[in-house]
Amino acid sequence: DKAEQKKLVGEPSVTAEGTCVELAANIGTPDDMKGVLENGAEGIGLYRTEFLYMGRDRLPEEEEQFEAYRTVVDQMNGAPVVIRTLDIGGDKKLPYLDLPEELNPFLGFRAIRLCLEKTEMFRTQLRALLRASHYGNLKIMFPMVATLEEFRAAKALVEEEKKRLNEAGYSFDEHVSVGIMVEIPSTAVAAAAFAKEVDFFSIGTNDLVQYTLAADRMSERVAHLYQPYHPAVLQLIKNVIDASHAEGKWTGMCGEMAGEETALPLLLGMGLDEFSMSAASILPARSLMRTLNVNDAQALVERALVCGTAGEVKEMVHTHAK
Ligand code: PEP
Ligand code: MG
């Protein structure tokens, strides 16, 4: 219950036999930090920076962004803070950006695709992130990466801005981690190639599920096809985690699935390193982790991966929990 869970605020997240995992929080603005600290998150697994750009009539300047990022990094006191670069487009529009009207905005000009064309806007954000990296454990993450070329191009801009900041005398973390979200099936399938170049992965199941089953995450009409527990989705997740570990890298998850009771044993069994969720889910997840065992979870995964349907997977997990 709630009172019991409150006692877990400062405790590590460990399984019954003592394996440690990281339970992190998703945030949208520095104002969300209160809930993060109250619920004892071990890191920030996803800072969605869109809100800095929304509800205003022009782009946020470098200084304003720097302050926002530094505030969060400061408050986390050395714990990891993964900040996602602008993920605009799709359903999220910016009036001052003059984006094209598209027939399929979710398959269109958005996120990293847009940032790689509007490079001045992107460079401003990268500079703000790099400068904030001096104050703690900040990690940069690119959204909606579909190809290795995109990652390389974005990474090259980071390197260029590092050089410029150096010349201008700014301090920043020279070794700042640069990773990607895995939310497009091409990237999940080809994870082995990405793993050689990125510092980490974070699986964005909200979009990965939508693209894998071709079921719009906003549509009531096809909601029955939006299946996080579809064996195909589980296979993609496992492939990403395995690929990262083969290169000595780590994988997190920052989609809704990471905080679900049904998902925790499966993700633990697959070896997920970091689970990022809404702050309110952290203590329930930490409490559940203490009842789980890695060997059992691995056996469960073996069976889940060869299930025919999402329904069978969920039933198997629920039976296992009893
Ligand atoms: C995701 O796609 O899973 C994700 C975390 O990003 P967003 O929900 O912001 O698209
Ligand atoms: Mg997404």
Atom of ligand 1 nearest to the CA of 26: 5
231 alpha carbon – ligand 2 mean position (Å): 20
Residue 98 pLDDT level (bands cut at 50, 70, 90): confident
Closest CA to 129 of 47, 45, 204, 56: 47
Residue 322 has pLDDT above 90, yes or no: no
Kindly identify the ligand whose nearest atom is closest to the C-alpha of 51. 1
Give the pLDDT confidence score for residue 90 in this predicted structure.
74
**Strands 44-48, 200-203: pairing kind:** unpaired
Cα 241 from Cα 244, distance rounded (Å): 5
Token pair belonging to 7: 């006692």
Mutate to test the pocket of ligand 1, among 110, 181, 257 (most ligand atoms within 8 A of CB): 181
What angle separates helix 231-246 from helix 263-270, to the nearest 10 degrees?
30
User: Which residue lies with its CA nearest to atom 8 of ligand 1?
Assistant: 206
Place of tokens 């005398």: 169
Give the pLDDT confidence score for residue 287 in this predicted structure.
96
CA atoms 173, 157, 42, 280: torsion sign: positive
User: Which residue lies with its CA nearest to atom 6 of ligand 1?
Assistant: 204
Give the pLDDT confidence score for residue 60 in this predicted structure.
97
Cα 237 from Cα 309, distance rounded (Å): 16
Closest CA to 73 of 113, 4, 27: 27
Residue 115 appears among annotated catalytic residues: no
Bind-site residues: 48, 84, 183, 206-207, 217
95 sits in which H/E element: none
Atom of ligand 1 nearest to the CA of 203: 3
Is 273 close to ligand 1, i.e. is its CB under 6 Å away?
no
Residue 1 has pLDDT above 90, yes or no: no
Other C-beta atoms closer than 10 Å to the C-beta of 84 total 25
Residue 92 pLDDT level (bands cut at 50, 70, 90): confident
Contact 83, 141 (CB under 8 A): yes
| Per-residue model confidence as pLDDT tens digits over 157-213 | 999 999 999 999 999 999 999 999 999 999 999 999 999 999 999 999 999 999 999
Is 276 close to ligand 1, i.e. is its CB under 6 Å away?
no
Closest CA to 312 of 252, 249, 236, 234: 234
Alpha carbon separation from 85 to 7, 113, 154, 164 (Å, rounded): 35, 12, 10, 19
Kindly identify the ligand whose nearest atom is closest to the C-alpha of 205. 1
Is 228 close to ligand 1, i.e. is its CB under 6 Å away?
no
Place of tokens 């905080």: 259
Catalytic entry in 20, 115, 254, 307: 254
263 sits in which H/E element: helix 263-270
User: Which residue lies with its CA nearest to atom 7 of ligand 1?
Assistant: 206
Contact 236, 228 (CB under 8 A): no
Residue 99 pLDDT level (bands cut at 50, 70, 90): confident
Q: List b or e across 123-147, with b for residues whose CB sees 16 or more CB atoms inside 10 angstroms.
A: bbbbbbbbbbbbbbbbbbbbbbbbe
CA dihedral 270, 9, 28, 155 (to 10 degrees): -50
- Name the 3-class secondary structure at 40: coil
DSSP characters for 26-46? EESSGGGHHHHHHTT-S-EEE
Contact 160, 188 (CB under 8 A): no
> Is the predicted ipTM greater than 0.85, yes or no?
yes
User: Which residue lies with its CA nearest to atom 9 of ligand 1?
Assistant: 48
Atom of ligand 1 nearest to the CA of 90: 10
Is 183 close to ligand 1, i.e. is its CB under 6 Å away?
yes
Give the pLDDT confidence score for residue 114 in this predicted structure.
96
| Per-residue model confidence as pLDDT tens digits over 106-147 | 999 999 999 999 999 999 999 999 999 999 999 999 999 999
| Per-residue model confidence as pLDDT tens digits over 221-279 | 999 999 999 999 999 999 999 999 999 999 999 999 999 999 999 999 999 999 999 99
Residue 91 has pLDDT above 80, yes or no: no
84 alpha carbon – ligand 1 mean position (Å): 10
Q: pLDDT above 90 covers what percent of the chain?
A: 94
Phi-psi region of 289 (alpha: psi -120 to 50; beta: other; left: phi over 0): alpha
Give the pLDDT confidence score for residue 72 in this predicted structure.
98
